[in-house]
Amino acid sequence: MQENLNDLRAFVLVAQSGSFTKAGALLGVSTSALSHTIKGLEERLKIKLFHRTTRSISTTEAGEQLFQQLAPLLADIELKINELSLFRDTLKGKLRLNGSDHAFIFALWDKLQAFMEQYPEVELELTSEQKFSDIVAERFDAGIRLGADVEKDMIAVKIADDMQMCVVASPDYLAKNGTPKQIDDLAHHQCLRLRLPTSGGIMAWEFEQHGKTLKFHPQSQLIASSNRLLAKACLEGRGLLWLPKDSIAEELRQGLLVECLTEFSIRYDGYHLYYPNRRQNSPLFRALVEVLRA
């Protein structure tokens, strides 16, 4: 039996995402059309591939076996097609990257712009998330995370300088509440809190003192899941905020925010591009690595 390659690819995407809606969005088709495609595939194979409920889907035993066999084959086909770029005057294809707002906007935007200018026929898709994603299961070509957070079974290339953290506040807030001089002084301040998307906990603030890393657990009236939202609150005098210094460099330059506790600021190993080893043979991917490499 000769199956339509597009139908098999649709099956793999549904199995990977666990959702007809998500897979349909990736394929650019409606949920009902995708469901019809999978139903047709099941009828031709005479095998049930998915368990379906009103709330979720999951692969059957046969479906899981087919998925485990097909996923690497289809990935290899896509890679081989991209390698044909060697015979073109310019590279063409699609790259999907997973990272954070901070990585894309503040650390890498100029390099990404340069890549798009150099390779105008390449489609670049940037997915911004605070949580950690399985880049293989979700069909990303690569992920971008701080060096210490890179998965150990991946190839990693440093693509940005080390990240400097800082504590900032508005001049109005400091005039009303005083400026902290020591880390312990933070206990007497409103310290705007960031909710972590993966664990659901509150991000601890980290400082460096005498060569050791110290953690401070902030307290305040306001909690948010976005540093951009917390930065707005900080600008309006709602409290102190701990965040990457480059993300508020312009506000510091204009005097809209003031840096505190500079002698205790900590630096983290910069962003790395990480990816499975099968990607390194793609000319398109190698071009991306060369542009982003620090």
Domain with CATH 3.40.190.10 in the chain: 88-162+270-292
- Residue corresponding to tokens 């980290």: 206
Q: Which residues contact 286 (CB under 8 A, 6 or more apart)?
A: 280
| Cα gap 16→36, rounded to integer Å | 18
Domain with CATH 1.10.10.10 in the chain: 5-76
The CATH number, out of the four listed (3.30.70.380, 3.40.190.10, 3.30.930.10, 3.30.70.2740), of the domain defined by the range 88-162+270-292: 3.40.190.10
Query: pLDDT at position 167, please?
Result: 98
Q: What is the CATH number of domain 163-268?
A: 3.40.190.290
Residue pLDDT tens, the chain, 294 long: 456 888 998 898 899 888 898 888 888 899 999 999 999 999 999 999 999 887 778 999 999 999 999 888 887 777 677 666 656 656 888 899 999 999 999 999 999 999 999 999 899 999 998 777 888 777 788 999 998 778 777 889 999 999 999 999 999 999 999 999 999 999 999 999 999 877 679 999 999 999 999 999 999 999 999 999 999 999 999 999 999 999 999 999 999 999 999 999 999 999 999 988 766 667 888 899 999 997
Question: How many residues are present in the chain?
Answer: 294
Domain with CATH 3.40.190.290 in the chain: 163-268
The 10 Å Cβ neighbour count of residue 37 is 21
The pTM (predicted TM-score) of the whole model is: 0.73
- Residue corresponding to tokens 């990480």: 274
Domain 5-76 -> CATH class: mainly alpha
Query: pLDDT at position 77, please?
Result: 78
Query: pLDDT at position 87, please?
Result: 61
Q: What is the CA radius of gyration of the chain?
A: 23
